[in-house]
């Protein structure tokens, strides 16, 4: 096998300078190819399970339907590569460069993408179950409708990412950056958003019930018609200048069942005290359809000015 690998590597070295080299449907499991220069190569349908492609240059390569199960691609350059239906289960893509890559319907379950650059990548239909995306750069990535429940996205950069209708239930998004993210209809129930930056994010019709928002910044976020019931640690978040028209905040920061009137009033009071103490709702817009906790509805109205029929802004 070692001699075979050396032969394959020799072939790759001879072809590496030719853009668009054709090596498709090769069977080279366990191949040792670190630092290989395969820019624009055609490897479609090949088997490279557990191959070592550490820091290989595969930019613009055609890797559709390639089997890279358990492969080592640490620091590899895959910018603009085509990886449709590619098998990358349990692959190590730590610090790999995948900007603008097409990963549509690829299988990345169990893969390690810690620190990877996925800016502008197409991840529609990609299997990301159990994928580690700690500190990954997903700026502008297309994740429309993805299922990322329980995903590990701590310190990830999701600036301007398309998260429309993406499922992020109980996802770990501590200190993640979601500035300007498009997350209409996203499911963020029970998500961990501690310290996350959602400034200017589009969260219309998003579901954030039970999410932990300690230290989260939702300034200027569009939260129209969003579900914000039972948020955890909401007193330490900020919603300054957010749009809360039609949003549902009733019973914020409280358990859904078995709560008496006294407790319900206390929860609403705690929320309003947080506002009077640190102005978490300063300058937010809300409407007659916004559902504030019943115990503070009148207080919020007294702190607001009507800017249009049925529309108010918190001013103090």
Taking only the tens place, the pLDDT of each residue in 186-208 is 999 999 999 999 999 999 999 99
Mean pLDDT computed over every residue of the chain:
89
pLDDT confidence of residue 249: 87
Question: What pTM, to 2 d.p., does this model score?
Answer: 0.85
pLDDT confidence of residue 22: 56
pLDDT confidence of residue 262: 67
Stretch 210-223: mean pLDDT: 96
Question: In 10 A of CB 69, how many CB atoms?
Answer: 19
SS3 5: helix
pLDDT confidence of residue 272: 82
pLDDT confidence of residue 17: 40
Residue 100 pLDDT > 80, yes or no?
Answer: yes
Residue 163 has φ and ψ, to the nearest 5°, of -115, 25
Residue 11 pLDDT > 70, yes or no?
Answer: no
Distances (CA, A) of 231 to 242, 285, 316: 16, 19, 23
> Which value, to the nearest 10 degrees, does the dihedral of the CA atoms of residues 22, 26, 29, 33 take?
-20
Secondary structure E strands in the chain: 285-287, 304-308, 311-314
User: What kind and span of H or E run contains 277?
Assistant: helix 261-278
pLDDT confidence of residue 218: 98
pLDDT confidence of residue 94: 98
pLDDT confidence of residue 26: 65
Q: Residue 203 and residue 198: Cα distance in Å, rounded?
A: 9
Q: Residue 299 and residue 290: Cα distance in Å, rounded?
A: 14
Which of 5-9, 57-61, 256-260 is predicted most confidently? Answer: 57-61
Stretch 2-25: mean pLDDT: 49
Q: Residue 166 and residue 64: Cα distance in Å, rounded?
A: 24
Stretch 80-108: mean pLDDT: 98
Residue 283 pLDDT > 60, yes or no?
Answer: yes
Residue 2 pLDDT > 80, yes or no?
Answer: no
List, as one string, the DSSP characters of 21-66.
-B-TT-B-TT-B-TT-B-TT-B-TT-B-TT-B-TT-B-TT-B-TT-
pLDDT confidence of residue 269: 75
Structure confidence by residue, pLDDT tens digits, 226-274:
999 878 888 789 999 999 999 998 755 445 555 556 666 666 777 788 7
Residue 66 pLDDT > 90, yes or no?
Answer: yes
Percent of the chain with pLDDT over 90: 75
pLDDT confidence of residue 232: 82
> 94: which strand partners?
none
Residue 125 pLDDT > 70, yes or no?
Answer: yes
Stretch 150-179: mean pLDDT: 97
pLDDT confidence of residue 255: 52
Residue 15 pLDDT > 80, yes or no?
Answer: no
pLDDT confidence of residue 79: 98
Q: Residue 304 and residue 316: Cα distance in Å, rounded?
A: 7
Stretch 110-119: mean pLDDT: 97
Nearest to 73 by CA among 37, 25, 112, 126: 112
Stretch 289-315: mean pLDDT: 94
SS3 content of the chain, % helix, strand, coil (to 5): 15, 20, 65
pLDDT confidence of residue 7: 47
Q: Residue 62 and residue 281: Cα distance in Å, rounded?
A: 50
Stretch 22-29: mean pLDDT: 66
């Amino acid at each position: 096998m070692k001699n075979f690998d050396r032969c394959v590597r020799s072939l790759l070295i001879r072809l590496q300078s030719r853009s668009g080299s054709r090596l498709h449907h090769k069977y080279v499991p366990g191949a040792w190819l670190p630092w290989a220069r395969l820019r624009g190569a055609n490897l479609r349908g090949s088997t490279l399970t557990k191959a070592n492609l550490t820091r290989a240059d595969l930019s613009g390569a055609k890797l559709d339907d390639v089997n890279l199960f358990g492969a080592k691609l640490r620091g590899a350059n895959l910018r603009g590569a085509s990886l449709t239906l590619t098998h990358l289960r349990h692959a190590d893509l730590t610090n790999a460069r995948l900007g603008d890559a097409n990963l549509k319907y690829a299988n990345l379950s169990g893969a390690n993408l810690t620190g990877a650059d996925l800016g502008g990548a197409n991840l529609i239909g990609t299997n990301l179950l159990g994928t580690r995306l700690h500190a990954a750069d997903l700026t502008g990535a297309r994740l429309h409708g993805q299922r990322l429940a329980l995903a590990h996205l701590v310190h990830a950069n999701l600036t301007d990412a398309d998260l429309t209708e993406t499922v992020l239930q109980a996802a770990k998004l501590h200190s993640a950056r979601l500035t300007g993210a498009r997350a209409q209809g996203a499911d963020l129930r029970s998500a961990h958003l501690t310290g996350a930056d959602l400034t200017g994010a589009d969260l219309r019709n998003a579901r954030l019930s039970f999410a932990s928002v300690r230290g989260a910044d939702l300034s200027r976020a569009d939260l129209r018609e969003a579900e914000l019931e039972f948020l955890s640690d909401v007193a330490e978040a900020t919603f300054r200048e957010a749009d809360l028209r039609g949003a549902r905040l009733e019973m914020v920061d409280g358990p859904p069942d078995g709560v008496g009137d006294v407790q319900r009033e206390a929860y609403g009071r705690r929320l309003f005290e947080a506002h009077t103490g640190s102005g978490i709702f300063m300058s937010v817009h809300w409407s007659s359809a916004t559902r504030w906790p019943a115990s503070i509805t009148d207080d919020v109205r007294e702190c607001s000015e009507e800017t249009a029929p049925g529309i108010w802004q918190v001013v103090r």
